[in-house]
């Protein structure tokens, strides 16, 4: 997920993340997993403020420095 700099700070990333979570729930998933690069400070902050927890790497991704997951169960 990436938001162009011109659109940052308008809540678009948060809305996209909520849509992703809603779609995942609708498909029966109980967890969302994400990874990101250490240079993407806004993404890291967004994931943390939306309840994502840091986890050990779950996929080999040479450009990723952080891996997150969030339970979708109430």
11-61 per-position pLDDT tens digit: 999 999 999 999 999 999 999 999 999 999 999 999 999 999 999 999 999
The pLDDT value recorded for residue 73 is: 87
Q: Which two tokens stand for residue 53?
A: 């927890």
Q: Residue 34 belongs to what H/E stretch?
A: strand 31-36
DSSP 8-state class, residue 36: E
Q: Residue 66 belongs to what H/E stretch?
A: strand 66-71
CB atoms under 10 Å from CB of 47, counted, come to: 25
């Amino acid at each position: 997920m990436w938001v162009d700099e011109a659109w940052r700070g308008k809540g678009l990333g948060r809305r996209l993340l909520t849509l992703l979570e809603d779609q995942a729930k609708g498909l029966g998933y109980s967890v969302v997993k994400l990874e990101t690069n250490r240079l993407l400070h806004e993404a890291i902050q967004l994931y943390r403020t939306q309840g994502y927890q840091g986890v050990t790497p779950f996929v080999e991704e040479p450009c990723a420095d952080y891996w997150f997951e969030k339970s979708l169960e109430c």
